[in-house]
Structures are given as C-alpha cells and as structure tokens.
Structure 1
Amino acid sequence: MASKYDGLARIIIQNVGGKDNIQSITHCVTRLRFSLKDESKANTDILKETDGIVTVIQSGGQYMVVIGNHVPQVFDAVISVGHLESKSALAGGNEIESTGKQNPFNAFISIITSVFTPFLGVLCACGILKGVLALLTAIGVMSAAGGTYNFLYSLGDAAFYFLPPILGMTAAKKFKLPEMEGLLIGLAMVYPYLTGGDYDISNLFGIPVSMPPSGNYTSSVIPVILAVAFAAWFENKCVKKIVPDTIKLFGVPLITLFVTFVLTIFIIGPVASAIANVLALFFNTLNALSPILMGAVVGFFWQILVMFGLHWSLVPIALSNLSTSGEDIILVAMLGTTFAQTGAVLGIWLKTKDKKIKSLAPAAFVSGLAGVTEPAIYGLTLPKKAPFFRTCVIAGVAGAVLCTMGVKAYQMAGMGVFAYPAYVNTSTNDTRGMIISIVVTLACVVAGFLSELIFYKDDAPAKKEVKVEGSAQAETLVAPIKGEIKQLSDIADAAFSSGAMGKGIAIAPSEGKVYAPADGTITAFFATGHAIGLTTDKGAEIIIHVGMDTVKLEGKGFEPKVKQGDQVKKGDLLLEFDIDYITSEGYSVDTPVIITNTPKYDDVIPTDAASAAVGDTLITLL
C-alpha cells in the first residue's frame, strides 16, 4: 500500500509553494532541507501547525521543515508523490539508502501517475470540447451530421482515440525506452487494419488472435503501458547486448518492436484487457447490486485516494468503461468531491480571522470550481483534518444520490464545472443526467459551506503530546565528547534550543572524537557523518549532532568509525571530526546530545557540571 507519509508529503509540497517553487531538496538526520525559489510563497504557519511537523526554520538560504527521526521516510514520500527525483540534492552526492522495493500496487500507481501526468491538461481540454459539443447537439444548437461538428469532434476525440500512441510515448520516457519506439508501438495498436473493416485480423502466423471486447485497442490504457514496459526491459537487458555495434542503429529497434508487437497481440494485450474488464465488472456489479453503496464508497474515499495518489488506479477503469460500453459510473460517483471542497473553502474563507488562511482561500476557491482541489486540500482542509473529512462525508452522500438516480458519464470531460457535459447522453440527446449533476453539486457546495460556517474553529488545536509506545528503563548516559557543557537554550539552532526535538544538553568540544554514551545500536548515521542516531539497550533514543548546519560540509572534516546497524559498547569510538577545519569553514562545533523519545521518561536531568570528560555522567533518565 502507499506510504503512510504520502498525505504529509503533499501538505509539505503544497505549503512550500508547490513543486515549481522547489529548486532542490535534501535531508539531514532530523529535517527536510529545501532550497526555494521564493520563500515568501511558503505557508510557514500552516506547516508549523501540521501534525507530523515539529517546526520550520529559515536559515542560511535554506527552508528547513523539522520532522524528527523518521525524516528519511518523509523525504522518500515527498520525492515520490511530487516526482522530485531531479531536484533531490543529496549532500555530498551520497545516495540515501532505499527503504525497500515498492510493492506491486505502489509500483503500478507510480507508473500510472507518471504516464498520465504529462498530458493530463490536454486530455481534460479535449474532454471539455467533446462535452460542449455533446451539450450543443443535445439542445439543438448544432447538428451531429454537420461539418462544424465533425471538424471539432475530430479535435476533441483525437486524444482519446489515439490514447495508445500518446501513452506509448509518455510510458517510454518513464521506462527509459526511446520515445519514438514507444510512440510506434502505440500507433501500431490503432493502425486502421486493426480497428475493423474488411481486413483479416483473425490470426498472426496462422495462430488465432484474440482482440479485446471492444474489438480494438483504441482508447485503451493498460495494454500499451505494459507493452512499453516489456519493450524497455527487452531492449536494455537483451537486445542491446546481442546486436553488433555496426547495425545497432536499426537492428535494436527492429528486434525490439517486432518481438514486442507480436507478444502484445498474443499475450500482453489480451491479458491486460481481461484484467481491466474484471475491474470494470466489479464496479459495475457493485453499482447493479447497490447504487447507494457504490456511490457512497467511491464518493467518500475519492479525495483520500487523491491524497495518496491512488485515484490513478481507477482512471484506467473509467476509460475502459467508456471505450467498451460507452458509459461509466466511477466518474459520476466522484463528482461531488471537488464541489464539497470548494464549499468548505468558502465557509473557511468567511469564518476565519487568520490573515494567512484568508489570503489562501480565494485562489483555492476559484481553482476548486475548475476541479483542481490541491490548494484547498493541502493548504486549508487537510492540515485542519476535520474540514477534510466533513467534505468526504458530503461527497459520499452526493455519490450515493447520483448513482441511485442513474446518472452516467458518456465521455471523458474536464473537472469541476467543466465535467457537466460528460453526463449528456449523445445517442438520445438526454440532458437529464447533466441537470441532476448540477443540482447535486450545487448542494455539495452549500453543504460544504454550511458545515464549515457552523463547525470550523480558527484556533488550531495545540500539538498533541507525543505518545511513544513501549517502555524505557532508567539509565545514566555518559559524555560522548570532551568539552564545555552548554544548555540547549544557548544553541543557535531553534530546532534544538526550543526543545522541540527533545530534552538534552550540548557540548562545545575540545577534542574531535565522539564515543558511545551507552551500550546500544547505531540506528542512523547520515552519509555526511555529522549526526549519529543511537538507541541504547535500555530504550533511550539519542541524537548526537556535531556542529550547527555542518551538513553543508558534505562530509569533509568527518571520519565515521562505525556504520548504521552496528552494535556498540559504552566508550566505543563512533566518529572523529576536525574541529579546526569545521570552524575555519565558519561553522560552530557546538554538539547537542538529544533524547528524542523524551516523553517516555518521567524526567531527563542533564548534568550541572561546567565541563565534561569522556565517560563522565552527562544525562540521567528517570
């Protein structure tokens, strides 16, 4: 399933000004470090009030979102949901270890998202054009047999009819196959010989061929994506290794395209079509058994799926429904979601006294009407949680009503108010579905507005006290570094000096060596060597952070002696660092020693000594 941090990641991306405002992103042991084009676009107050974020610090040209020990998982989620791989500027050029291979479902969602995103705007534009034509013919303004209709319909329908070539090209970019090869695979699948007529497509090499239920691959989604995925693997792993350099220019694409196309006709296409048909059958059967349940489930969960990027798993099913049966219910069941969000934004806009929130609301309201709810979700409703889930309930009710009343989509259209023409039945010129959808979505706006006018509270709830599962034993930690003792409040970094990361103490080192303060396991050792995470055998979770902002040194001046996962004993040497070099580069060497699971203890008592030698008592945990 999707990472549990995907929702937090989307809130972070939205409130640092969006992905286009991000120049680069990296992380250290406790925080995400952004380089932003314009820091004034960041909604710092919203981020600070979001559960899962400790605080936000702006310093030295970096915009830092303090997360805590699980920052690597949040970083991975931010990169994944924002598709920010090209903007990941990892310190020192060191790659962060993968948290593990994606499971098949996560991989599928990632692929679908990457393949659709590059032309989603064009797809919506073509859908709007088709919807408007359907509406004009339904009310008698335009004739479906006229020249104007035929020309404009050709433009609107082209993106859907030739979906395989478009997807072939975007999928090729995703799978690192030459884009022209991906395009050609898609074009071959919709070549006129294969779309009907008097051409014999009953067999290939004398072997019977099974075409999809629709009769051809026009408007299909999954078959071409799987075909391109296979082609990329086959070419990169097999073909390039066996074709001589003298004929690679034409030999590689010749073999790749021939083998891929044959396998697509015999295996990939029929199997992919069957899978899509089974999924479509599930939703259609659910709707037949209980339209109320179908609409309520899809309507309630749609925005939650959007939050995790999982709604992309339903988009191919909707497209498959439209191409095979000419109608769809998934696009109907989710219709109320954007309007419920839009109404909620209007309610918050009028109710709030917070100037920052009030300034965000107008743009979120306008974009919500157009069906783009990310500013509303990640800027206003989701950080407050309750407004978000109230809109989910409203959308669930709307979905149940729409499905119960038999509304269906007959074509892909735009989002928000631009979706209405999709519910016009062009074969009968019936506008009943569109009229019902307009009434229901207006009701969603009103319900969302009234719910926030009644329930929204401006005062953000105080951050909940961190509850840490498990138990910890009392123990005494010894000084890991020789030097002068300092209080955390005297440290220049707000994340440490405020106590937000936990209680502890700091040392101004007189010797560039770090030793283990207790027996335990190295649970984190950042690639630049400036920070160590250690969990003691008795349960204390400790961060030893050498210097302030020393991550920017990219590992220079640090020499790790252990690695993540090592078992250590009290007094073992963990790290050597060059005090003179670090200070000559303009960085403080003040080193906080933080107990990050402070809430486990009745008290955390630092020493009151002015200085400490390695092995002296430093912190007592009760």
Structure 2
Amino acid sequence: MATEQARQIIETIGGPGNIKSLTHCATRLRFELNDASIVDKDKMEKVEGVMGAVPQSGDRYQVVMGGAVAGAYSDIMQLPEMAKAGASSASKSADDIKAEARAGGVRGKHAWVDAFFEFLSDSFRPILGVLLGASLIIAFTAVLDALKIVDFRADPKPASWLFVDAMWRSVFFFLPIMVAYNGAKKLKVDPWIGGAIMLALMTPEFNALKDSANTVCTTNATLGTESCVARIFGLPLQLNEYGGQVFVPLLMVAVLAVLYKFLQKVFPPNLQMVFVPFFCLAIMIPLTAFLIGPIGVWLGSAIGAGLAWMNTHAPFVFALAIPMIYPFLVPLGLHWPLNALMLINIQALGYDFIQGPMGAWNFACFGATAGVLVLAMRDKDVVMRQTASGALAAGLLGGISEPSLYGIHLRFKRIYPSMLVGCFVGGLVIAVGGLVGMADGGIKTKAFVFTSLLTIPVFNPILLYVIAVAAAFLTAMALVIARGYMTKEERAEALAQRDEAAVDPLAAATDTNDHALAPAAAATGVAAAGTAAAGTATAVAEKPAKVVKPAMVPGTVTTISAPLAGRVVPLSEVPDPVFSAGTVGLGVGIDPSGDTVYAPAPGKIVVAQKTGHAFGIQLDSGVELLVHVGIDTVNLEGRGFDVKVARGDRVEAGTPLVTFDRAIIEEAGYSLVTPVLVTNAKKFGEVTQAAQGDVQVGDELISTTAKPAKVEPTA
C-alpha cells in the first residue's frame, strides 16, 4: 500500500523526470520541479494519505503528509524509477554518511582531495551495472569450465564459446572508452571527445604500427610483457595495448579538461562547435599516444608489480591487510584505485590477486547484514527487516556492499567491530591457507568480478576461497546476533516505537533520524468533566484493555496553555497556506515577543527536530500538539536555534524546549509567526481558539472538546 501511495504521488507530480530535487521537513514533502504547472492539484489531494497539495512560487511544490512524511519520503526514494531523479535527502542519506565518514580526514578538509575522489568515483559508478553483468557471464563460463562441460582453455576454442567470450570481453576491452566518457562528463567536457581520444589508440591502424618496419620490440623482465617502440615523424612512440586500461583515460581526461576550458575561452561561442573539438583531438591524441598513455601504463604496471611483490614475499601480511583496510576505504571512496589495479593486473599479468582477500571483507559485510536481519525479525522491526533483506540480496547475489554499508552499518556503531572481526577471520584463513600450501601466491582470478555467491567459481583455489568467505560471513553474523547492533538506548527506543505503533500508529510515526515529524505532537491542559462524563469514565475503567486519555473522555473540555509569549494570530492569518487551511491541524499562531518555547503541560517529546524549528509533544491528556517556530525556518538548518530537549524526553509544564535568535530569523527573511496546532483534531468534537491579543506563557490558548459519548440503541 505504501509503495502504491509513493507511485501515485510521483506519477501525479509529473514522474521522476520532472523532479529536480526532493526533501522533506516536519510535515510535508518539498519538491523542486522542472515544470510545476503540469501537476494536478485535485488529483494529488485524492491520493490516500495526502493531506493537501500546495503550489509554491517558481516550480516548487509541497505535498502535505503530516506525521507520515518520513515514511512517504522513504517509500518514494526506494522506488526504482527514482534512481534517476535529481533527489536530495533531508534525512541522513548515503551521501550524508559518506560526508560524515570523511569529515575528520583529508577528504573532509581539502576540497581538491574530495573533488579528486569524486572524479575517480564518478568515472566508474555509471558502468557498475555493465561490469556486474559481465562478471556474471564470466561466472557462468567458470562454472561450465569447473564442471568440465566446456574447456575454455582449449586451443582453438569452439566458435560458439568465442562468441560467449566476446560478450564479456567487450566490456573490459572497451573499458578505457567508457571511463574516458564518464570522466569527461564529470569534468564538464564533451564526453564524446574523451571517448574519441581513447578510441584512436584502439583502432586497427594504431595496432598495425606494431608490425611496422621501424618498430623495435623488447620484453619486460619483471612482468614478462612485450614492449614495442615505433618511429613516428622521427619521434619514438611506445606502443601499448590499451584495452582494459583505466589509468590512461583518467590521466588523459584530467589534461583534456584544462585544454577544453582554455579553448572555450579562446573561441567565440559561434565557433566553438567546430574548433574546440578539432583542437582537442589534434592536440590530445598525439599527447596521449606519445606521453600520457605510456605514463599511465607504466604507473599502473609499477603499482601492480609492487603489490605482486608484496603478495609473493609477504603473503600472510597481504592476505590480512586487504580485507582489513577495505571497510575503511569504501566509505571514503578510496577503494577505486585498488579496483582499477585489479583491472590492470588482469591486463598485465593475466590474473588478479587482490579480489580474493577482498572477498573476505565483502562477505563479512554481508554476514553483518544477515545478523541484523535475524535481530530485526526477532524484534518484529518491519522497516529494518525490509532494509536488511534487500541489502543482503544485493550483496549475496550481486556483490554490492553499498546498501549494507550505507543503509545499515554506518548508522549503528556496534556493527563495525563485529564486521572487522569477520574480515580478520576471513583474511586469516587465506593467510594460513597460503602457509600450508593450499594457495601458491594467494587466491587468484583471471577476471574482474563482483564478489558474490554467483562468482565463487572464478576464484582459485576455490576450496580455500569458500572456507575464507564462509568464515568471514558466519563470524560477522554470529557476533552481530550475540552483541546486537543497537546500543541499549537505541534498542529501547526502537522497541518503544514499535509498541506505540501497535497501539496508535500516528503516535509513533516519526523518523529515527529526527528529520521527520509525526502528527503525534500533543498538548494538554485543565480538564473539566460533568457527571455524565464521570459515569462514562467509570464504565470505561471496567475495561482495562482500553484506556481513555483524560482529554478524550466524552464531553471533556481541555484547555491548552500558550507555549510562548506573544500576540495571538488566528489560524486563517498564519502566513502559510498549509497551516492556515488547517491541513496539518487546528489551533492558532503566535507572533512571539519572547525567544523561548516551553512545554505547556506534562508529556513526552515525540519529535525534537535537530534544526530546532519544530517540536511534537504527546501530553498526558492525549492531546497532540505541534509547535512550529516560524515559517520555512527549516531552511536555516538549525542556525539561530538552541534545542533544549531530545525525542523521548519527559517534560513538565514550563520545561524549555528551544531558544531562538529573532535577529537571525528575521535577517534571513522568515516570518516568526509560530503555529501551535492540535494535530489529532479529528479525534475531538471541537478545537477552538481560547485567547485574543497578547498572551504570556501558561495563559489559556486553545480549547478542545471531546466527542460526546455514543448512544447505544435501545432494544
């Protein structure tokens, strides 16, 4: 049902292609659209769960969800079609977590370092899908070879299986072109120019230079590879096989970006289409062939040779080091160079020795996720169960660790130690296996693959690899189950939310990251009940299974005190169409004269936004209150707010909730009018304004009247 609601919202908003960005605040989804005029407001408001639709200035559009906003946002972001939308998360997204993970290191402190790794990452990220697809084809052929159904080492190989080879080699042979295209696009250069430059070095004509009479070939004693040098216009040109190379296109694109932007300044716009590509090709193809290409090949080969030396001379250390450092490299985006080296190893050596020990890290990661899944099923945590099951499937079948890492592991600090032990155990198995002769030179593979259950057959020796990844998986899983993945406080809070949801889903509909507000903000006051109400309460007391809150006792009038001093503003005059229309709840606004918001009566803080602009209080009376400090003040991102309470805190009348700086809010151009709303107004017969003019903290502000008792029909 939730998924259907999310799809209806996206379809009505104009589809993913119409979305520039999507965030959410306390009660509503905030869209920035390419064209807001195509949105059907009436149709949007008919979507189940949507409380209102509010067109804004420009192409901004708000969809009011009340307390369900966090769940709606999550459901929308999980839609497959949203993968291509330009959405940004107001809650803690994977990018947020990555930024936090690197904030204390060099990536967080130096913009150029951060930009470098973003360039590196974005040069590969768009082609992960085809790399994964090709790796599964390789795994399929490895299974056939292992079962001796087809001998892929036969010479000559049957034509049918040569064709199968072409299916996966196409991806890895033309990888430099893909990397050049993506890298150029990232640096805002015409990506086809980047691709064309690499294509020039892979043409039959370029390869034919090797057979030229002026070409001299020698053999590299260290790597056992052949190196040829041709004479072109009297200059020496080192000939290399550029298929599968990744360092060369990365270096080339970095130089191309400088040249491209220089040429754009030199030529007027009406001439750029012809002369910028011409000079880029005329300069960069020779420069890449004579200089950048050989440097890139040499650099990759040198690093690969160094790691190969370590794997040969210190295999025990190497087998432990790789799985232990990967959990720290991946969150920071520093793993891309090693991934590139795997491809270079296969190109230069014919095999790779990094992926084997790396598999211990991946399976330890998946094992930790499996442990979380077991605990989520035990605790009947539906959200975490769905998150963990999806992440586990992506890992075991696709070899993708990001859903586990960013969706779970980096959110709960107790997981990483358990996972690291799993990494160590897996690496130790490989290290010991090498010592006892199970693997000469470590675990190797002749193909670049994603380490999943489906690609196990490509590793040799397969038995040692299976033992290692199984040990890593089971160790991490067992430790997570034994130790738990939440602190005592996190677990108690999660169980409390689950129990609250079982009684009143609205009261627990709040985001665990304090970025979404449930309609479970509450207010209470002084209740006065008549004789009939007292009789009803007595009758209710005889049914302990159903507890009636004081404000809900039929006929009860409850007054809600002012949480801050100021001038009362009728709800219809609150300068926000969502609030003024009563979409979120009924109540009043207060134009504050003070700078502090207080709890109006005893209760529990259901939501305390980290930005300080909104609070939800569930008071003991059963009235739910939202106090929203100012209009659109969420955009200040906490600047000017000093939050005094946290979600889950118990408060009494007069407990300070937040202090705000009027000058900062007014200077930013936001209204200080603070809506004070009963968000569960539908549960009452009447919600009315109880004050006019100026009020002080503690003065009567709003009154609620409980619905009358139901009259049972007589026989």
TM-score (norm 1): 0.61
Match of 1:533 in 2: 640
Structure 2 CA distance for aligned equivalents of residues 373 and 504 of structure 1 = 35
Query: Which residue of the other structure, out of 389, 414, 427, is the alignment partner of 1:386?
Result: 414
Structure 1 stretches lacking a partner, 5+ long: 1-19, 39-56, 66-81, 91-97, 424-431, 465-478, 506-512, 514-524, 536-541, 547-560, 564-572, 591-607, 612-622
| Letter in structure 1 aligned against 2:346 | L
Query: CA 1:499–1:233 in 2, change beyond 3 Å: closer, same or farther?
Result: closer
Alignment of 1:232-251 (within 5 A): 232-235=257-260, 237-243=261-267, 248-251=272-275
Counterpart-to-counterpart distance in 1, 2:271 and 2:613? 67
Pick one of 305, 308, 314 that aligns with 2:338.
Answer: 314
Contact 2:368 2:476 in 1 (8 A): yes
Relative to the length of structure 2, the TM-score reads 0.54
| DSSP 3-state at the match of 1:142 | coil
**1:87 and 2:87 correspond:** yes
Question: Residue 649 of structure 2 aligns with which residue?
Answer: none
- Displacement after TM superposition at 1:433 (Å): 1.5
Query: Is the radius of gyration larger for structure 1 or structure 2?
Result: 2
1:309-336, CA deviations, whole angstroms, 9 ceiling, x for partnerless residues?
Answer: 2222211111111111112222112102
For the pair 1:416 / 2:452, whether they are aligned, the reply is: yes
Structure 1 residue identity aligned to 2:362: T
Name the SS for the 2:242 alignment partner: coil
Identify the structure with bigger relative contact order (alpha carbons < 8 Å, sequence gap 6+). Answer: 1
The question of whether the paired residues in 2 share the 8 Å contact of 1:194 and 1:216 is answered with no
User: Structure 1, residues 94-150: CA drift from partner, whole Å, max 9, x if none?
Assistant: xxxx99985444323211211111111111211222343244335432244111111
- What displacement does 1:206 show? 1.7
Q: How do residues 203-242 of structure 1 correspond to structure 2 at under 5 angstroms?
A: 203-211=231-239, 215-235=240-260, 237-242=261-266
Contact 1:167 1:224 in 2 (8 A): yes
Alignment correspondent of 2:396:
369
2:364 alignment partner, one of 331, 335, 340: 340
Contact 1:181 1:257 (8 Å CA) reproduced: yes
- Residue in 2 aligned with 1:146? 158
Q: Which residue of 2 aligns with 1:198?
A: 211
> What do you get for the CA RMSD once the two structures are aligned?
5.0
- Taking a change above 3 Å as real, the CA distance of residues 313 and 33 of structure 1, as seen in their structure-2 partners, is farther
Match for 1:233: what amino acid? V
Give distance in 2, aligned partners of 1:170 and 1:146: 35
Q: Distance in 2 between matches of 1:32 and 1:116?
A: 35
Partner of 1:178: 190
Offset at residue 58 of structure 1 (A):
7.4
How many angstroms apart in 1 are the aligned matches of 2:387 and 2:89?
A: 29
Which letter does structure 2 place at the counterpart of 1:441? V
Deviation, 1:387, is 2.8
Q: Distance in 1 between matches of 2:605 and 2:284?
A: 54
1:305 aligns with 2:412: no
Which of the numbers 24, 28, 44 marks the counterpart of 2:21? Answer: 24
Give 1:167's aligned amino acid: V
| Residue 553 (structure 2) aligns with | none
Report the CA distance between 1:225 and its aligned residue: 2.1
2:612–2:641 CA contact under 8 A, matched in 1: no
- Which amino acid in structure 1 is aligned with residue 451 of structure 2? M
Q: Tell me, in whole angstroms, the C-alpha distance in 1 between the residues paired with 2:112 and 2:27.
A: 29
The residue type paired with residue 437 of structure 1 is Y
Q: Deviations for 1:51-104, whole angstroms, at most 9, x for unmatched residues?
A: xxxxxx974885499xxxxxxxxxxxxxxxx999943599xxxxxxx9998544
The within-5 A match list for 1:348-497 is: 348-352=372-376, 353-355=378-380, 356=382, 357-370=384-397, 371-402=399-430, 404=434, 405=439, 406-423=442-459, 432-456=460-484, 460-462=488-490, 483=593, 487-490=597-600
Aligned partners of 2:425 and 2:471 also within 8 Å:
no
Question: Residue 21 of structure 2: SS of its match in structure 1?
Answer: strand
Q: Distance in 2 between matches of 1:452 and 1:500?
A: 29
Supply the distance in 2 between the matched residues of 1:163 and 1:348 (Cα, whole angstroms): 37
CA displacement, residues 489-542 of structure 1 (integer Å, 9 cap, x when unaligned): 259xx989759778999xxxxxxx9xxxxxxxxxxx99967974399xxxxxx9
Distance 2:147 2:305 in 1: 33
Counterpart code for 2:129: G
Aligned residue pairs, count: 460
In 2: Cα distance, 1:120 partner to 1:504 partner: 41
Tell me if structure 2 keeps the 8 A contact 1:408–1:433.
yes
Call closer, same or farther: CA 1:138–1:349 in 2, change over 3 Å.
closer
Q: Give 1:381 shift.
A: 3.8
SS at match of 2:163: helix
Residues 335 and 399, structure 1, Cα contact 8 Å, conserved in 2: no
1:270 has 2:283 as partner? no
Q: How far off is 1:209 after superposition?
A: 2.1
Q: C-alpha separation between the residues in 1 aligned to 2:254 and 2:613?
A: 51
Partner Cα separation in structure 2 for residue 457 and residue 251 of structure 1:
59
CA distance in 2, matches of 1:259, 1:486: 65
Q: Which residue of 2 aligns with 1:155?
A: 167
1:284 counterpart residue number: 308
Q: Is the 8 A contact 1:128 1:421 kept in 2?
A: no
Corresponding residue for residue 78 of structure 1: none
Distance 1:462 1:314 in 2: 36
Asked whether 1:329 is paired with 2:416, we answer no
Rounded Cα–Cα distance in structure 2 between residues aligned with 1:318 and 1:459? 38
Question: Once the 2 structures are TM-superposed, how far is the Cα of residue 267 of structure 1 from its aligned partner?
Answer: 2.6
Displacement, 1:458?
6.5
Cα deviation, residue 610, structure 1: 5.2
Q: Secondary structure at the match of 1:372?
A: coil
Alpha-carbon separation, structure 2, partners of 1:190 and 1:296: 38
Task: Decide whether the 8 Å contact of 1:219 with 1:319 is kept in 2.
Answer: yes
Counterpart Cα distance in 2 of 1:443 and 1:528: 48
Q: Percent identity?
A: 22
Matched residue, 2:136: 128
SS in 2 for 1:202: strand
Q: Give yes or no for contact 2:396–2:453 (8 Å, CA) kept in 1.
A: yes
Report the alpha carbon displacement of residue 279 of structure 1 after superposing the two structures with TM: 2.8
Q: Mark the CA change 1:249 to 1:458 in structure 2 (over 3 Å): closer, same or farther.
A: closer
Alignment gaps of 5+ in structure 2: 1-15, 34-43, 45-63, 73-81, 91-98, 216-228, 493-565, 567-590, 616-629, 643-657, 678-694, 699-715
The 5 A counterparts of 1:106-125 are 106-125=114-133
Q: CA deviation at 1:545?
A: 5.8
Partner of residue 6, structure 1: none
The structure-2 alpha-carbon separation of the partners of 1:58 and 1:299, relative to structure 1 and needing over 3 Å to count, comes to farther
Deviation at 1:485, TM superposition (A): 7.0
Q: Relative to 1, partners in 2 of residues 1:354 and 1:382: Cα closer, same or farther, differing over 3 Å?
A: farther
The answer to whether the 8 Å contact 1:231/1:257 transfers is: no
SS of corresponding position for 2:660? strand
Shift of 1:34: 6.8
